[in-house]
Amino acid sequence: MSNTVILYIVISGIIALLVALFQYRYKVKHKLSVNNYLLVLRFITVFAVILLLLNPKIEQLSTFYEKPSLVVAVDNSNSISFLNQDSLVENIVGKIRNHQELNEKFNIDFYAFGNELKLSDSLSFQDKQTNLDNLFDGLNDVYKQTVAPTIILSDGNQTYGSDYSFATRAYKQPIFPVILGDTVAHIDLKIEQLNVNKYAFLKNKFPVEAIVVYNGDEEFNPKFTVKSGSSTVYSSVLKLDKNSNSAVVNFTLPANKVGTFSYQVSVEPITSELNTQNNIKNFAIEVVDEKSKIAIVSDWLHPDIGALKKSIESNQQRTVSILTAKEYENQINDFQLVVLYQPNNRFKSIYEKLEASKSNKLVITGTKTDWNFLNQVNSFYTQKNSAQTENYLASPNQNYNVFIINELDFESFPPLKSKFGNVEFTIPFETVLFKKIRNTTTNNPLMASFEINGRREAIIFGEDIWKWRAQSFLNKNSFNPFDNFTGKLVQYLSTNKRKERLTLDYNSFYEGNSNVIIKAQYYNKNYEFDNRENLVVSVMNDSTKVVRDFPFVLRNNNFEVDLSSLLPSDYSFTVKTTTDNLSKSGKFKILEYNIEEQFLNADVTKMQALANNSYGKAYFPNTSQDLISSLLNDNRFVAIEKSTKNTVPLIDWKYLLALIAMCLASEWFIRKYNGLI
């Protein structure tokens, strides 16, 4: 309370006393003994009222002792039970939990970590992965502002996440690891890593890289084998010894069929090897046929058509069919993109169907193009029909950024022939190439592209494109630059996919240690995401034919279902909506693989470094009592005296109001009793 407030209180007391004296000493007619009591009551009343008007703030100071926290984090992954350390861990945890002196000195918090960090009173040792870096991130959020020595019971083997060796840069608590597992190095041969893409294209070969590590002294020549089912698709003999203790095996496998195929990679185990689980790894590859079918529609024979076919098909994932307008009309839904070469009135039905389906297209005009027809069926650009022709050179637009076009020297290309006239667009468009007449570059496009209402279109205003491909070969001694340009144009026009009301996001295969998650999005008839829908997935095991239903949950604007409880096998599934009966099906495979069973020894080096970097100390299970003694005797971990100051306004003190009421009532009663009223 400040000196000013104290002065005001003193003045308030003087004023209250003067008022009371004036009332019961100066002004009173009869001097009675009871006046002294009335004077005191009036003084208290007036003084209390003035205090309420001043409303001084009263500070209350309280002190208490806060014990430090003791964090006990236990590795709850499969590797602990695989190394037969589970009962030992439970014994150590029970000893800490029930230790009276530890509980008196610390607030003890128990956590379990594996796939994620969580508070835990019981342990299952069933987590399929270990993320030690995530452990320290989670603990740092909770104990950043407190003293919290941390005991970690783990083998130190991490299966995913960032390297926890650098965790002490952010986590500033002393760490006391209890290192579980065998610390003696045994002879071991294992497949350390397997690198392979998830997808492969049909009729291609996909690369595989395997890294084999050997821990032993004698020379050993194991057989390396890759099997698909019961068939061996690759094998080789490795040469390993104490000095050359690793081998990188690179090979390719054919992708001859569409679908998901699983493979088993194995290396011949050593006779005295204790852990043979890490001698085998499985992987799967999904072979996809992503060949795009493209139609070139024309009623005229021209060298451009053959040049375009060869250029587009230089990418083996694309096939081109050359059709007349009537032939294409009967199979319009079989193609992902259409090239309309010099359209005329025979193309009327094609334009109507392409407009209805909002399909992308590439239009090439020339000397035989019927512009009267094209102006009638197309509302995006127009050109007057003229009998006069003109040769136009190409000048690239340096500001065009939809895809890269600077690989070609367009300035050296021969001119394209087209009907004379300027093209007028009614919508926003981007010029790819400007028309150039002799040495003058115009603002009129020779090639343009635009995107409107979810579809894309490109137009080339000229024929004799075959000359460009030939000139590109003369410039670079290769067709590749021109073919790459054509490929980019085709890719741009083939990018958009038709909207679907129910979409799924899932992998064709999952490793046995990973979470099996399927995500879905549902849109109403206006293609707005609708989170009110209920989605259910029916999953059938292809081997046992057992069907199980799982509901989706809404999470982050996605419907999501976790199928991690399923056993390794092949599965078929169908996702259904409950209101309008939409459905979508698929297949996935869960591979049999447990990464937690790939470790034979504890990572002693990392765990000891973790302790040293945090000013802690590493222990082993047989020295856990020493750890308890060390924590009890460590002067860094003592209770901290803390104080809290609570400032309360006097007006909040209800007892003062009660005192005023009581004084006024007493004064009135005494005066009434003595006939002074």
Answer whether 459's CB lies under 8 Å from 433's CB: no
For residue 530, count CB atoms less than 10 angstroms from its CB and return exposed for 0-12, middle for 13-18, buried for 19 or more.
middle
Cβ atoms 455, 427 nearer than 8 A: no
Please identify which residue in the block is written with the tokens 């292809």. Answer: 542
Band (pLDDT 50/70/90 cuts) for residue 298 is very high
The confidence band for 644, taking pLDDT boundaries of 50, 70 and 90, is confident
Query: Are the C-beta atoms of 390 and 415 separated by less than 8 Å?
Result: no
Alpha helices in 366-429 (DSSP H): 371-377
The reply to whether 188-288 and 502-594 are identical in fold is yes
Are 617 and 611 in contact by the 8 Å Cβ rule? The answer is: yes
Q: For residue range 366-417, what is the model confidence (pLDDT) as tens digits? A: 999 999 999 999 889 999 888 888 999 999 998 887 777 877 889 899 999 9
CATH architecture assignment, domain 292-493: 3-Layer(aba) Sandwich (3.40)
The confidence score (pLDDT) of residue 505 equals 87
Angle among Cα 108, 623, 616 to the nearest 5 degrees reads 60
Residue 495: per-residue pLDDT: 53
What CATH homologous superfamily does 188-288 map to? Answer: Immunoglobulins (2.60.40.10)
Comparison of pLDDT for 585 and 27, the residue scoring more = 585
User: What single DSSP character describes residue 529?
Assistant: B
Structure tokens at 636: 């860094």
Neighbours of 133 (CB within 10 A): 19
**What distance in Å separates the CA atoms of residue 215 and residue 222, rounded to the nearest whole number?**
13
pTM of the model: 0.49
pLDDT at 185 over 70: no
Q: How confident is the model at residue 182 (pLDDT cuts 50, 70, 90)?
A: low
Calculate what percentage of the chain has a pLDDT beyond 70: 95
For tokens 């009129």, what's the residue? 444
> For residue 488, is pLDDT > 70?
yes
Per-residue model confidence as pLDDT tens digits over 12-63: 888 888 888 887 777 766 667 777 888 888 888 888 888 888 887 777 777 7
CATH topology of domain 68-184+601-638: Rossmann fold (3.40.50)
- The model's confidence at residue 655, banded by pLDDT at 50, 70 and 90, is confident
Contact 224, 314 (CB under 8 A): no
Flag whether pLDDT at 511 surpasses 90.
no
More confident residue, 558 or 643: 558
The 3-class secondary structure across 333-345, one letter per residue, is: HHCCEEEEECCCH
The model's pLDDT over 549-562, given as tens digits with 9 standing for 90+, comes to 999 999 888 899 99
The Cα–Cα gap between 425 and 454 comes to 18
Q: How many CB atoms lie within 10 A of CB 442?
A: 13
Nearest to 586 by CA among 599, 573, 596, 568: 573
**502-594: which CATH topology?**
Immunoglobulin-like (2.60.40)
pLDDT of 183: 64
**Which among 315, 312, 187, 196 has a CA at the least distance from the CA of 250?**
196
For residue 403, the model assigns a pLDDT of: 76
Contacts of 546 (CB under 8 A, 6+ apart): 540
Write down the mean pLDDT value for the chain. Answer: 86
pLDDT band, residue 496 (cuts 50/70/90): very low
User: Across 171-204, where does the E strand assignment appear?
Assistant: 175-179, 188-196, 199-201
Give Cα separations from 507 to 197, 364, 517 (angstroms): 13, 40, 8
Report the pLDDT value the prediction gives residue 262, as an integer from 0 to 100. Answer: 83
CA–CA gap between residue 270 and residue 598 (Å, rounded): 15
What pLDDT is stored for residue 354 in this prediction? 87
Per-residue confidence (pLDDT) for residue 597, from 0 to 100:
61
User: How far is it, in rounded angstroms, from Cα 409 to Cα 471?
Assistant: 9
Query: What is the pLDDT at residue 499?
Result: 55
Specify the pairing of strand 547-551 against strand 553-555: unpaired
Residue 249 pLDDT grade (very low, low, confident, very high; cuts 50, 70, 90): very high
Strand, coil or helix: what is 447?
A: strand
Residue 237, pLDDT score: 93
Rounded distance between C-alpha atoms, residue 341 and residue 261, angstroms:
42
Instruction: pLDDT band for 343, please (50, 70, 90 cuts).
Output: very high
* SS3 call for 419: strand
* CA-wise closest residue to 459 among 300, 342, 336: 342
Task: Give the pLDDT mean for 578-602.
Answer: 77
Please report, for the chain, the start and end positions of each structural domain, with discontinuous segments joined by +.
Answer: 3-63+645-673, 68-184+601-638, 188-288, 292-493, 502-594
pLDDT tens-digit series, residues 303-339: 999 999 999 998 877 899 999 988 998 888 788 899 9
- Give the integer Cα–Cα distance in Å for 294 and 310: 12
Share of the chain above pLDDT 90, in %: 38
Residue 282: pLDDT band with limits 50, 70, 90: confident
Q: In 606-631, which positions are buried (b, 16+ CB within 10 angstroms) versus exposed (e)? A: bbbbbbeebebbbbbbeebeebbeeb
